[in-house]
Chains A and B, each alone.
Chain A
Amino acid sequence: EVQLVQSGAEVKKPGESLKISCKGSGYSFNSYWIGWVRQMPGKGLEWMGIIYPGDSDTRYSPSFQGQVTISADKSISTAYLQWSSLKASDTAMYYCVRPMYSNSWYRMDYWGQGTLVTVSS
């Protein structure tokens, strides 16, 4: 069974750094794109970017390019989303996602449970 298990909720202050994780299991982690989706409180879904763990090929939404870093560690089947300096506007639920097929990264069949990030002074 394919599972994406995300790290727990975080409460941070503006200016702090953060790295949240998404561990994949039940499939060959190297062979499927992993993406990240943001949902701010009471708002819609926003696609942030994706990574192919096999070769670390990474693509970002223009809205998030330079604002976050997406990475993956194949050895522990885990993808990451990180910030170097958080802002209050980063407060949101973050989901990791995976497609059904390895070459169909544009569809999000599997979703993690979400990680709530709260940034407040």
Chain B
Amino acid sequence: QSALTQPASVSGSPGQSITISCTGTSSDVGGYKYVSWYQQHPGKAPKLMISDVSNRPSGVSNRFSGSKSGNTASLTISGLQAEDEADYYCSSYTSSSTLVFGGGTKLTVL
């Protein structure tokens, strides 16, 4: 199975909104509602930010939102803050009953 496709990097200024895409196939992203997004700061373990395409776990800021259209899922961060600078990864359930991650996106807050 191939990794999901994410842009290598995105950037935005404080207060702006950015969107990170995650493109797969009908056998993963497009076929199921089991897409998750993770935030990872340097030297730290990842943190779940979005599950089931658009659900925010308890404690996650409502500035983070998720959506999906066809084979592409998206993570939107509104009101960018300096603390949002991190790596972001998507993951999806697959038709083989496995999980696959995206390659990761480095978010820079200018």
Residue ranges of A at the interface with B (Cβ–Cβ < 8 Å): 35, 37, 44-47, 49, 59-63, 95, 100, 104, 106-109, 111-114
Q: Provide the bound-state CA to CA distance between A111 and B34, in Å.
A: 18
The residue on A at minimum CB distance from B93 is A106
0/1 string, B66-110, CB within 8 A of A gives 1: 000000000000000000000101011100111111111000000
For residue A106, which residues in chain B have a CB less than 8 angstroms away from its CB?
34, 36, 91-93, 99
For residue B46, which residues in chain A have a CB less than 8 angstroms away from its CB?
37, 45, 95, 108, 111
Q: Are A114 and B45 in contact (CB under 8 A)?
A: yes
The residue on A at minimum CB distance from B96 is A62
Q: Provide the bound-state CA to CA distance between A37 and B98, in Å.
A: 12
For residue A63, which residues in chain B have a CB less than 8 angstroms away from its CB?
1
Give the secondary structure class of A's interface. Answer: loop
Q: Provide the bound-state CA to CA distance between A59 and B84, in Å.
A: 33
| Residue B21 CB within 8 A of the other chain | no
A-B contact count (CB 8 A): 64
| Residue B64 CB within 8 A of the other chain | no
Q: Are A47 and B101 in contact (CB under 8 A)?
A: yes
For residue B57, which residues in chain A have a CB less than 8 angstroms away from its CB?
100, 109
Closest chain-A Cβ to B43's Cβ sits at a distance in Å of 10
In the assembled complex, 14 residue pairs joining A and B whose CB atoms fall closer than 8 Å, in A order, are A44-B87, A44-B103, A45-B46, A46-B101, A47-B98, A47-B99, A47-B100, A60-B98, A61-B1, A63-B1, A100-B51, A107-B48, A107-B52, A111-B45
The residue on B at minimum CB distance from A114 is B45
